[in-house]
Structure 1
Amino acid sequence: MPARSLFFSTRNLAAWPQGVQCNFKVLCRMNMEERNSSLVVELSYPDLVIDVGKVTLGERNRRKLLQKTEREQETEKVIKAACALLNSGGGVIRLEMANNDEHPVEMGLDLEESLRALIQSSNLLAFFETKQQGRHYYIFVKSWSSDIFPEDSSFKPRICSLSSSLYRRSGTSVVPMDSREAFNFLNKKRDTKVSRNEPCGKIVRVIHKDLCNSDPTYQVFQKDQLEYGEILPFPESQFIEFKQFATKHIQEYVKNIIPKYVSAFANAEGGYLVIGVDDKTRKVLGCAKENVDCDSLKKKIEQALYKLPCVHFCQSQCNIDFTLKILDVLADGKLYGYACVIEVKPFCGAVFSEAPRSWMVKDKQVCSLTTQEWVDMMMDTDPDLLWLCKDFESQLSLSNRPPLSRPVYSKKGLEHKKDLQQHLFPVSPGCLKRTPKSLWKELSSQNEGLEELINKQIYPFSQGILILSRSWAVDLNLEEKQGVICDALLITQNSPPIFYTILRKPDAGGQVYCTHTALTLKQKLVNVGGYTGKLCVMTKVLHLSPESNAESLEGSGSLIDYPRAYDLVNTQQMEVLLQSLVIVLLGFRSFLSDQLGCEVLNLLTAQQYEIFSKNLRKNRKLFIHGLPGSGKTVMAVKIMEKIRNMFHCEANKILYVCENQPLRNFISNKNICHAVTRKTFMNKDFKNIQHIIIDEAQNFRIENGDWYEKAKTITQSEKDCPGILWIFLDYFQTNHVESSGLPAFSAQYPREELTRVVRNADQIASYLQGVLQEVRKNPPPNIPSGSLQMLLEAEWAQGVQGTLNIKENLTLDQIVTHVTDTCKRLFERGYSPKDVAVLVSTAKEIDCYKPKLWRAMRKRRVVQFTDASDMAGDHIVLDSIRRFSGLERNIVFGIHPQTMGSAISHNVLVCLASRANQQLHILWRRNI
């Protein structure tokens, strides 16, 4: 077979090499009654390792020593393991040689051809490397990615599958759909618009003009009986299939042939499966009555039909529409036996013969994908949203990426993943750097002998980067282990990545911790970071003895000798891997995910990451001042996740406190903490709380007591191990003139600042800058002027075009008309009600606008409103600016009275403008 990549189509099965044909057919006949495999992933390696047991290797051995069924069973184990690893981030298949050869042997032609059929390519090295070590034979599996297919290929499968289990009609034949055909077929079905109230049967055309009432086909199948030996007046066609009854095991035979024929008819324009007619002569033969029980046969067929997996793309969840008739077959006027006719109507979705043949690793086991999982993954694409593409820059597209990857976007104008990599993890020619420098200096000074120990480990390497962390486990959202001085990841040339764990003293659990952390890192680099190269992570566990400064290796979790293809050979490969690491460490679930209906990741800025990566044990109390739109709430969520992992906390040990119910509800839905408002915090006891995160603290009050003192008391209740108290605030968004209860500005120490504004489109950001300057020049009396000087350090992300629309001197009716007409246009352009918020100055004004807006929206058949407490609902939010604090929407309408003279008038405008991502409409209402 030529070395170039091929896309095997089952339509051209006859053109495949004979061995590939044989093995593909064998594998497609594997019994799938048991969907979960007995194959399990071993836990003692920093990779997914599946032991498939004894396998006979070598072409001659497999043909000489094994029966056909034995070869099929061994092939099945290997193919399942290979497919599961391809779809799960890659890994290793371990085989024990069943034959007794003393010298190395090849895998075996049938196994190689089965693997080629699996990846739909003749180039095995694109995904597989092999190595024999003693009696063990290893198949190293790279994660699936479709970059092996030509760039001009119209379709690149998102996942690896042995069979789609979808069938179609081709003339008088039934043909399985390959991945390309399945994708196109499913896309066509999905794109078909189906009315919510229209039954599925009405959305398809009449099967075919040949099946109308005047056609002899239709007339014949309206009969209740046929004559033995009569010749039917029509041949097989795209809509007719003749089959004879089997001579033995009749019911099992009928049950087994039904799935692919019914799938083919249902996925096309319908048709008839006729059992009991010879396909060559069209002669009615039936099945002798003494050989079959009519009622039992009918029940068996119905059961087989109802078991067929289906996927819908419409609102209706209808079943397969079929008519089953058992016809009497007469001979000389007497009952001879029976024939069977199944009329299948076109299906609105997709009908499978069985669940698609594709596997993944789930909960350490090799499991089959369900039909719905397979369809979701097969059709998984980047969000097709024009407004998202205008405002965001793709950092990681699903195209050519591993199956479990999610799309990653960053706001335009912010650092690209390459820029972040160069800033955080630079690779310099001929130099091996240690980073972060401050942590390296601190660790070296605190742990005598550590520098010597690490230098000894990295001595052989001359180029790359050593990335240190007090706990890589916490960085990867795992639990921290006590006794770990630090972890270090070495990315260097001519070597795979090496993960070191340095313990203070020998610990039996050190290797388990190191192995598990390295495995998680490897999986995330592929499945989150989108790395498509061949990747493994070697591990080393060291301990530092304070008495002797001696090194002690506890052994290595990397007992498998990986091929040289897994080494990073040049600077380019190292940087590509480090860019995937940037996504792993700086990625977070975007707040846009709920709006889009799919998971999308954003990246922290370098400034945010530097604060996030602080040592929590040394920064138990911290004030974070952030400009509007600098990502304070994002940081609050990330810090709570870090607290949970570092201190082994349950969610009920972490308290999130804010001023307003909508923001409380928004955070509460993330299930990472116990979220309350400031008022609830002051009115209840929180004896079990260990850590507290305060958000939007500038809007707190002291009407219910000294909240700051209470928070300090709770977090400092354990003198030996005080909790975390981080307070996020922005004085520019203060929405009252009373005391906030915060300590004096000079006492807010230690303090960090977020000055990189990342939220707003350029036009909105420009307007916001002007209003912020007004606040800085004329601050309300309750705001310390020194706190506003951070505006001088502000950086604004640029490059996102938006809309700023300011209208003055409007009547109430004009305001209502502007909001409803604009929303109607936006929704016609593809925006969702989830994108829109209408904000008024005070809660009292909501009752003034709501009835009129509701009537106008209803008249234009737009949508209804809800308040900000239901941010997840598919509604326009109508609420006050104050209650919307800490939240955001793409499009914001702000309604104000014409005269808004107060000490905080500009602060209110800051609060309003900073809530809008793309479009801001400020509507000033005329004085009455």
Structure 2
Amino acid sequence: MAHSESRTNMKKHNPSLVVELSYPDLVINVGEVTLGEKNRKKLQKTQRDQEKEKVSQAACALLNSGGGVIRMEMANGNEQPVEMGLDLEESLRTLIQSSDLQAFFEYNQQGRCFYIFVKSWNTDLFPEDGFKPRICSLDSSLHRRSGTSVLPMNSGEAFRFLETKKGNAKLLGKEPSNKILRVAKQNFHDSNPAHLIFQRDRLQRGEILPFPESQYVEFKQFSTKRTPDRVKDIIPKYISAFANTGGGYLFIGVEDESRKVLGCAEENIKREDLKKEIEDAINKLPHFHFCQSQCQLTFTVKFLKVLSEGQLYGYVCGIRVEPFCGAVFSEAPRSWMVKDKEVCCLTTEEWLRMMMDTDPDLLKLSEDFKSQLSLSSRPPLSRPVFSKKEVGYKEDLQQLLFSVSSEDLQFTPKSLLEELYSEHEGLEELLKKQMHSFSRGILIFSRSWAVNLNLQEKQGVICDALLVTQNSPPILYTILGEQDADGQLYCTRTAFTLKQKLVNMGGYTGKLCVMTKVLHLSPESNAESFEGSDSLIKYPESYYLADTKQMEALLQSLVIVLLSFRSFLSDQLGCEILNLLTVQQYEIVSKNLRKTRELFIHGLPGSGKTIVAMKIMEKIKNTMGCEKNEILYVCENQPLRDFIGKKDICQAVTRKTFMNKNSNFENIQHIVIDEAQNFRNEDGGWYKKAKTITQRGKDGPGILWIFLDYFQTSHVYCSGLPGLGYQYPREELVRVVRNAEPIAKYLQEIMRRVRKNPPPNIPSKSLNIFSKAKWSQSVTGYFKRITYSNLEMMVVCITEKCQFLLRNGYSCKDIAVIFSTASDVDAFKHKFQEAMRKIRAQLNEESDQFVVENASAIMGNHIVLDSVRRFSGLERNIVFGIDPKAAESAVLYNLVLCLASRARKQLYIFIPSF
């Protein structure tokens, strides 16, 4: 998708709209507004329009940013209840393109303050067969011709228009778009009678043109010295309309009803100045196209002499606009959003990207992904969320984690609650007192809801608790050990973030606010409670959770907020998508870091160890109040190091770099070690060094978490890990979520062989975790063993299979070819590339799109070709494993397991027959 931005597309904000930061909701103060129908009728039109514009901008910004509240002062200085005013109501109806204002807006007057409560934009209310714009706009700035009229497109019409243009671009397929445009333009000229007049050099004053105004022809007559200004005013919408509706001709100097040529008097117009004004105005118009030709908006400005009785009277200015393959805007669309605590106008590029945002097609990757959050009917800032069958869907996860009882108020999690009660005398009595009036729902505890939401922890907070209960809005409680002036600020900020994430990340579409309450637990167990600033705003009862269905819908959005992580598929698909953690992964990530500073995590292949490692590093940053350069990630191979390093959450190194005497780790306070089973002591005791670094902190020991899987040990040397009995505390990840069922069955077969004949350097009892494994079921995939008699046969087989996959929806970034050793890779690479080039040349396909790189390029659109050791910790949808063998026979099956577990969807194992 290509584009051209106008100078008006720079980020701009409205300083008259102030985002107030003292509430747990987005509150925009629009200042003084005259309210009441009679009062507004007395206003001058200019003032009335200005007030209407700022209210509309604030409403648009909130609709697009997760909802919130518009706050205004009544300019008429009367505290008596008044209605808002018909013109203001009509502007809001136009904004949402619906007569049902209450679906998105409710009002409340409190003294001289008037509040409009705005629900987040979503398209659930649109007809099923209707067009559903992803965002709300005051004006799309797109125009079209309809008969002889120029009509603005509302958001729904703009969405339909853009979808049609995008669909047409796809239908053109591989046809050269410039050739198609040339044919379209030629047909446009040949069939339009205005074309013949446009070719002439002169016209007679009073001459009647032989054609009327139409969809493709517009006449304008300006006879004053303000002609250049008037022309500049009409250029944007007329050029946009013609370009978007098959092209057309604009003649300036012709009377529209009579078709009579009158011309623009020579003394009123300077041709060169006018031409420059017209060309500058057209060149500034933002335009987008969906093809690959980088085509430009094509137009011609021509002056035709107008003669009167043989003498030059003036000119007719003709502008011919060619058909355009994309969309032409009259200016940047008028759509607003809250960014960086300011109400900002979206650029054309931002608006178009959000308007056209669609769910990625995961079917080509796996039909076993189920959408948990689709963009088709969700708030504008939401991202698509998918889950695999074996992970569980949001409904299942909600029932497991946050089940709502039909009888009483549930407190969860029980284990944390017991810890808190034992640590803080009087806490139980305080909570019972606060909760006595609530009968149904759930109270969800956390040592820090801020950390759960990727905010920084606050010292002095005993715990936070989120109350989701019937006949009440959600309430976030912060319980302080001692009185703290910043306690309310912390609670407000956390509640604000929670509300925003429930809507914009969790996709909640109901009316929502999160109230706050700060409790102080004194040493004598006397509690003081402080209502937040949100108590100053009285939300309508529609913001209260009415029943179990609404509570569960909110809690399912909470599941997405707490369990989602940026999927590795995001890099493959080129767009942001989210996956969900398993309950087991979530429970490990939820551990109290201050009480679990050292932890060994044993995880089966494909159980998500690296995902948990990344999530825990994010949590370390917020819990311990440290920077990313104070967190160290250590692994054995460079590709995995590079992959994690690009996530920008830590400093990432290999074990060799970690043990290098010249490496500087003075700033490091916390260490996460991954794939530790493949570490060695050849460069010194890495575990002792890591322990020493994390023990030297001024405020106590840092975090040292070690992830490993003895089943994937790839050598027979000492790993440097402490004995199994000293790996304590220890957690296990036993749910395999990466591999399709046929691959999982093969992994089980190999793991049984490893258990039967374990390598001598690993503790045999460490393999007992296999009996606890939970495997993927009914997750479709493919596994095949293939024998080959020579290298050439194997190359042909892999090449033809890759060609088939690439022609059926897969891309190079889905495929990896993995060998046992690096020397085998070098011998294969040239033959493989040459074979692919020959096949693609025979099929007349572009060979430059086929690229082979090593595992360091895992993020790129390349077929990965590397050794199994260098690919450890990484994964791809399709893996070709070549002749798995090991220098040390004792770890042969471990190596095969490591290779096979890298495949998500399809696995091909090539075994020589010689």
TM over 0.5: yes
Q: Which amino acid aligns with 2:308?
A: A
1:556 and 1:454 map into 2 onto residues whose CA distance is: 22
State how 1:574-723 maps to structure 2 within 5 Å.
574-683=551-660, 684-718=663-697, 720-723=699-702
Match of 1:357 in 2: 334
Match of 1:21 in 2: none
2:131 and 2:163 map into 1 onto residues whose CA distance is: 12
2:777 and 2:223 map into 1 onto residues whose CA distance is: 72
State how 1:348-427 maps to structure 2 within 5 Å.
348-388=325-365, 390-427=367-404
8 Å contact from structure 1 (residues 499, 518) kept in 2: yes
Structure 1 residues 269 and 553: alpha-carbon distance in aligned structure 2, compared to 1, 3 A threshold: closer
State the secondary structure of the residue aligned to 1:427: coil
Q: Which amino acid aligns with 1:724?
A: I
Match of 2:798 in 1: 819
Match of 1:805 in 2: 784
8 Å contact from structure 2 (residues 819, 884) kept in 1: no
2:161 aligned residue (185, 190, 206): 185
1:216 and 1:913 map into 2 onto residues whose CA distance is: 69
1:151-199 Cα deviation digits (max 9, x unpaired): x324222111222211222222222223333223222322314688946
Match of 1:918 in 2: 905
1:32 and 1:347 map into 2 onto residues whose CA distance is: 21
Could you tell me which runs of 5 or more consecutive residues in structure 1 were left unpaired when the two chains were aligned. 1-30
Structure 1 residues 230 and 727: alpha-carbon distance in aligned structure 2, compared to 1, 3 A threshold: same
Structure 1 residues 210 and 366: alpha-carbon distance in aligned structure 2, compared to 1, 3 A threshold: closer
1:87-139 Cα deviation digits (max 9, x unpaired): 11000001111123342111111111111111111111111111111111110
2:838 is equivalent to residue 868 of structure 1: no
1:567 and 1:180 map into 2 onto residues whose CA distance is: 31
State the secondary structure of the residue aligned to 2:124: helix
8 Å contact from structure 1 (residues 84, 361) kept in 2: yes
State the secondary structure of the residue aligned to 1:715: helix
Identity percentage of aligned residues: 67
2:833 is equivalent to residue 857 of structure 1: no
Q: Which amino acid aligns with 2:55?
A: V
1:807 and 1:306 map into 2 onto residues whose CA distance is: 60
2:774 and 2:678 map into 1 onto residues whose CA distance is: 24
Match of 1:207 in 2: 185
TM-score scaled to structure 1, two decimals? Answer: 0.94
Q: Which amino acid aligns with 1:61?
A: N
Match of 1:767 in 2: 746
Match of 2:5 in 1: none
2:542 is equivalent to residue 565 of structure 1: yes
Please identify, of 880-889 and 543-552, the stretch whose mean Cα deviation from structure 2 is larger.
543-552
Structure 1 residues 926 and 294: alpha-carbon distance in aligned structure 2, compared to 1, 3 A threshold: same
In the TM superposition, residue 348 of structure 1 has moved relative to its aligned partner by 2.4
8 Å contact from structure 1 (residues 544, 552) kept in 2: no
1:388 and 1:159 map into 2 onto residues whose CA distance is: 29
2:398 and 2:357 map into 1 onto residues whose CA distance is: 28
Match of 1:880 in 2: 867
1:785-807 Cα deviation digits (max 9, x unpaired): 01100110001122211010111
1:435 aligned residue (406, 412, 437): 412
Kindly tell me the number of residue pairs found equivalent between the two proteins: 894
2:885 and 2:808 map into 1 onto residues whose CA distance is: 31
2:24 is equivalent to residue 46 of structure 1: yes
Structure 1 residues 69 and 899: alpha-carbon distance in aligned structure 2, compared to 1, 3 A threshold: closer
2:150 is equivalent to residue 174 of structure 1: yes
Match of 1:138 in 2: 115
Structure 1 residues 923 and 32: alpha-carbon distance in aligned structure 2, compared to 1, 3 A threshold: closer
Match of 1:59 in 2: 37
Match of 2:762 in 1: 783
2:93 and 2:332 map into 1 onto residues whose CA distance is: 22
Structure 1 residues 241 and 832: alpha-carbon distance in aligned structure 2, compared to 1, 3 A threshold: same
2:505 and 2:646 map into 1 onto residues whose CA distance is: 23
1:95 and 1:454 map into 2 onto residues whose CA distance is: 37
1:56-101 Cα deviation digits (max 9, x unpaired): 11111111x3111111111101111111101110000011111233
2:277 is equivalent to residue 300 of structure 1: yes
2:311 aligned residue (310, 321, 334): 334
8 Å contact from structure 2 (residues 225, 269) kept in 1: no
2:511 is equivalent to residue 534 of structure 1: yes
State the secondary structure of the residue aligned to 1:581: helix
Match of 1:158 in 2: 134
2:578 and 2:513 map into 1 onto residues whose CA distance is: 24
8 Å contact from structure 1 (residues 836, 889) kept in 2: yes
Structure 1 residues 195 and 394: alpha-carbon distance in aligned structure 2, compared to 1, 3 A threshold: closer
Q: Which amino acid aligns with 1:904?
A: V
Match of 1:91 in 2: 68
Q: Which amino acid aligns with 2:88?
A: L
2:890 is equivalent to residue 903 of structure 1: yes
2:569 and 2:32 map into 1 onto residues whose CA distance is: 49
Q: Which amino acid aligns with 1:41?
A: V
Match of 1:5 in 2: none
Q: Which amino acid aligns with 2:857?
A: D
1:535 and 1:248 map into 2 onto residues whose CA distance is: 56
In the TM superposition, residue 407 of structure 1 has moved relative to its aligned partner by 0.9
Structure 1 residues 686 and 761: alpha-carbon distance in aligned structure 2, compared to 1, 3 A threshold: same
1:239 aligned residue (216, 220, 230): 216
2:813 is equivalent to residue 834 of structure 1: yes
Structure 1 residues 34 and 331: alpha-carbon distance in aligned structure 2, compared to 1, 3 A threshold: farther
2:101 is equivalent to residue 114 of structure 1: no
8 Å contact from structure 2 (residues 206, 261) kept in 1: yes
8 Å contact from structure 1 (residues 200, 348) kept in 2: no
In the TM superposition, residue 216 of structure 1 has moved relative to its aligned partner by 5.5
In the TM superposition, residue 720 of structure 1 has moved relative to its aligned partner by 3.9
In the TM superposition, residue 340 of structure 1 has moved relative to its aligned partner by 1.0
Match of 2:452 in 1: 475
Q: Which amino acid aligns with 1:42?
A: E
Could you tell me which runs of 5 or more consecutive residues in structure 2 were left unpaired when the two chains were aligned. 1-7, 841-846
Match of 1:793 in 2: 772
In the TM superposition, residue 363 of structure 1 has moved relative to its aligned partner by 1.0
1:203 and 1:249 map into 2 onto residues whose CA distance is: 36
8 Å contact from structure 1 (residues 207, 271) kept in 2: no
Q: Which amino acid aligns with 1:385?
A: L
2:819 and 2:582 map into 1 onto residues whose CA distance is: 32
State the secondary structure of the residue aligned to 1:786: helix
Q: Which amino acid aligns with 1:431?
A: D
8 Å contact from structure 2 (residues 64, 379) kept in 1: yes
In the TM superposition, residue 399 of structure 1 has moved relative to its aligned partner by 2.2
Structure 1 residues 126 and 337: alpha-carbon distance in aligned structure 2, compared to 1, 3 A threshold: same
Q: Which amino acid aligns with 1:691?
A: H
TM-score scaled to structure 2, two decimals? Answer: 0.95
8 Å contact from structure 1 (residues 128, 140) kept in 2: yes
Q: Which amino acid aligns with 1:173?
A: S
1:827-880 Cα deviation digits (max 9, x unpaired): 111111100000011111001110110101111225120001011211100001
CA RMSD of aligned residues (A): 1.9
Q: Which amino acid aligns with 1:177?
A: M
State the secondary structure of the residue aligned to 2:376: coil
2:360 and 2:323 map into 1 onto residues whose CA distance is: 30
Q: Which amino acid aligns with 2:132?
A: K
1:297-344 Cα deviation digits (max 9, x unpaired): 111111110110111222343431111113332223333222211111
1:698 and 1:610 map into 2 onto residues whose CA distance is: 23
1:555 and 1:509 map into 2 onto residues whose CA distance is: 12
Please identify, of 309-318 and 830-839, the stretch whose mean Cα deviation from structure 2 is larger.
309-318
8 Å contact from structure 1 (residues 45, 558) kept in 2: no
In the TM superposition, residue 622 of structure 1 has moved relative to its aligned partner by 0.5
